[in-house]
Amino acid sequence: MANVKREDLPYRAAAGMVVLNREGLIFVGKRIDQSQEAWQMPQGGIDDGEDARTAALRELEEEIGTRNVTLLREHPDWLLYDLPPHLVGNVWQGKYRGQRLKWMALRFLGDDREINVATPHAEFSEWKWLKSTEVLQLVVPFKREVYAKALAAFADLIP
């Protein structure tokens, strides 16, 4: 798909989750499908007929093995990010230029033993809890701005 023009492609609708533990630390997972180290917060596509909240819970269970969370707040806007040029046309079957995410802040109600990234739909090889500043340092550069906006919107929930 070498002739794909970014501006001709739509954004993929997705849910993004800022999962906070009792101490206010944020869940991040290390992606298994990247050749370089890539960490991210849980996120995933919204299926046809699904709303963002339903997608968020489904994606959490698929990615971290639990949906033992409570919704704290939903971001009022959709936040966008573009894929870097070398990925446009190569991910998501070449259908999208990036993602438009509906972010949610969620409180994890369980304990760490409930988290299992070795799920049938595994996306992460390992995981950890981080402070928001650490998340922004670790995330891949093309997602950093959208992560900063999402974390800023929920800053009052993060100590």
What does the block give as tokens for 132? 């928001």
- How large is the average pLDDT for residues 14-38? 92
CA distance 96 to 27: 26
Residue 1 confidence (pLDDT): 46
φ and ψ at 4, to 5 degrees?
-70, 130
φ and ψ at 147, to 5 degrees?
-65, -40
What does the block give as tokens for 159? 């100590």
- How large is the average pLDDT for residues 127-153? 95
* CATH class assigned to 6-154: alpha beta
| Higher per-residue confidence, 8 vs 57 | 57
| Higher per-residue confidence, 125 vs 37 | 125
Which residues are bridge partners to 28 per DSSP?
128
Q: Is 80 exceeded by the pLDDT of residue 35? A: no
CB-CB neighbours of 72 under 10 Å: 14
Residue 34 confidence (pLDDT): 72
Q: Is 90 exceeded by the pLDDT of residue 94? A: no
CA distance 26 to 19: 6
The single-letter DSSP state of residue 33 is S
The single-letter DSSP state of residue 46 is P
Q: Where are the domains of the chain?
A: 6-154
Residue 125 confidence (pLDDT): 94
pTM: 0.93
Taking the CA atoms of the chain, what radius of gyration do you get in angstroms?
A: 15
